Structure formats: C-alpha cells, structure tokens
Amino acid sequence: MSAASLEAPATDAAASKGSRSRQGTRSLVPLYIATFVIGIGLWAVAGMIADNPLIPSPLSVVVSGWESILDGTLWEHTSASLLRVLVGFGLGVALAVPAGFLMGWYWLVRGLVEPWIQFFRTVPPLALIPLVIVILGIGENARIFVIFLASFLSCVIATFQGVKNVDVTLINAARVLGAKDLTIFARVVVPASTPFIFVGMRTALGSAWATLVASELVAAPSGLGRMMQAASQFLDTETIMVGILMIGILGFAMDRLLLLVERRLTAWQEVRA
C-alpha cells in the first residue's frame, strides 16, 4: 500500500529529476572523460619513467584482464565475490531495516538492542574474523557472515535514525485524520524514513565490499580477493590491478544503481544532498 502511494511522486519526480541530471550530464561528462584519459595517461607515463617490471602499464593490465576473461578465470572469481557481497549485503539489509524500525518504534526493543549495536559498531567487522573462523569454520558461511555483519551494522543505525527523525507533526496530522498505530507506521513512518534507509543501504554496500577482500584472504577457493592474493605470491601485479579495477567497477556500478532507485523513491524531498 505504500508502494501505491509512492508511485505518483516517483513518476512526477522522474520528470523533474530527468531534466536536472540531463543538465548536469551536459556540462560534466566531458570532464569525466577527460579526467579518466588524463589519469590513465599519467599512469602510463609513470610506468615508463619508473621502468620497473612490477609497475604494470595500463596496456599490460588490459591484456592481462582480457586473457583472464578469455580463460574464464576472471568470471569465476568475480561471480564468487559478487555472490558473497550480494548475499551478505542482502541479508544484512533485510534484517537491518525491520530491526531499525523496531528500535525506533518500541522503546523496549531500543533499550535492549541499541547498546549491542553501538558496541559492535565500534569493532571493525574484520576484527571478528578470527572468532568467526573458530565458530563457523573457514567455509563460505564465515565469509558471508562477516559481510552480512558489516552491512547490517551500517544499515541498522541509519534506519533507526530515520524512524527517530520522523516529524512529529506528520504523525499528529495522521492521527487527527483518524490513523491508528499500524497505519501511521505503514503510511507515515516508512515513507518518511526511506531517505535514511537508502543512506544506510549505500553505506552498507560500501562496508560489504570493504570486508570482502579480507574475508577471502582466508582459504577461499575463489573470489577476487583470493585471485589477488595468489597473484601477489607470483609478483603478478597485472592481475592484482585487474582485481582492484573489478572491485572498483562493481562497487561503483552497484552504488549508482542504488542511487538511481533512491532518487526515484525519494524525489519528494525538499532538499537533496
């Protein structure tokens, strides 16, 4: 039912949004291209000046990447990593959103849960790896769990903040129109905290990728982190660069995708960062 109420603003906003980003695109895209060309150019020049076989040139990285695409290894590692990130991030967000809502809505839940979350937020998820390995072993579960935890902790706080920040006048406006708790929750609290949830999801996505490589350093059969670590033993800096670029590209693409969805769903906002 909140989907229906979000539909109209979304289409409305898509129109105004579209014109705005078109305008942005017109002025900035040449700059984006230019800065990439310059950056890669500088990299090439630096590689030539250094004349060190361990500093790969852009061309050799492309060649190495192309070879690993052809022999299927890049896809194998990428898909393994992507799956981990998607599962960990998906579970994290799927649990964080209801948990955040419950914390914001019921003081009892907040009192019982918030201290734990605040505490574990100060512990980097990677610091838990040794413990997780002991408990969950070195299998897939352990890796996904660490990514899950990182995503969950980033997202739950944002959702909770969102619920806490819902304007009381809006809740009162709903109450005087006859709305009871459940309606207020579904039709006021949820839409009002959507912008916060998206901020949380994007932070969570960043955390998920940040945790990925480290989680794969421990006896992973495949994955970009695994690929890079193996390459590092053979001083194969080209492959390492391919891994870094892959992670960057995937992380960036997923972030943009989320941003796109966010803009569609929260275009009703008066101000936007």
| Residues that bind another protein in the complex, under the rule CB under 8 A | 5-6, 8-9, 12-13, 167, 169-170, 172-179, 183, 187-188, 191-192, 194, 266, 268-270
Full DSSP string of 103-132: HHH-HHHHHHHHHHHHHHHHS-GGGGHHHH
The distance of closest approach from Cβ of residue 148 to another protein in the complex, given in angstroms and rounded to an integer, is 30
* Residue 75 half-sphere exposure toward CB, CA atoms < 13 A: 6
Closest to another protein by CB, 19 or 269: 269
**Shortest CB 262 distance to another protein, Å:** 13
Neighbouring residues of 149: CB distance < 8 A, sequence distance ≥ 6: 92, 120, 125, 128
Q: Which is nearer to another protein, 91 or 171 (CB)?
A: 171
Q: Judged by CB, which is closer to another protein: 9, or 206?
A: 9
Q: Least distance in Å: CB of 272 to another protein?
A: 10
Q: Tokens in use for 212?
A: 């990925």
Question: What length does the chain have?
Answer: 273
Residue 255 Cβ vs another protein, minimum distance, rounded to whole Å:
23
Measured from the CB atom, is 52 or 169 closer to another protein?
Answer: 169
Instruction: List, in sequence order, the alpha helices (H) in 51-189.
Output: 58-70, 73-105, 107-122, 129-136, 140-164, 168-176, 181-184
Q: How far is the CB of 267 from another protein (least distance, A)?
A: 8
Which of 174, 218 has the CB closer to another protein? 174
Q: Cα 192 vs. chain centroid, distance in angstroms?
A: 21
Name the residue among 156, 152, 151, 162 with its Cα closest to residue 194.
Answer: 162
